[in-house]
Amino acid sequence: MLKIKDKLLLHNANINVVGGSAGVAAYDANTKIDLTGSTLKYDGDGYAAYSDGNGQIILNNADIELRGKATLMNIDWSVPAANRPIKTSATNVTVFFK
């Protein structure tokens, strides 16, 4: 799991996480993980992208692959899209079943 408490730009990165509680996790208000154009492969029992509601993750033009018991993310639909901690645009998600 990649857990950051600051700003991290990983544009066009190739991230492969096996196990762990999350693929990437953002905690606290000053945390921002930008995976624009990246590929995130997560094989585990948790979230591919997790925010505590304060940290921000950007998944624009990203490719996500989910394996195992992985969940993509948790979205609170009562929060306007512009204020959600995990932002997506043109993100592709592929789910693999065993």
Using alpha carbons, list the distances in angstroms from residue 46 to 5, 20, 21, 36, 68: 19, 7, 5, 21, 9
Q: pLDDT tens, 11-27?
A: 999 999 999 899 999 98
Residue range 76-95: average pLDDT? 95
pTM for the model stands at: 0.89
Q: Which residues contact 88 (CB under 8 A, 6 or more apart)?
A: 59, 60, 62
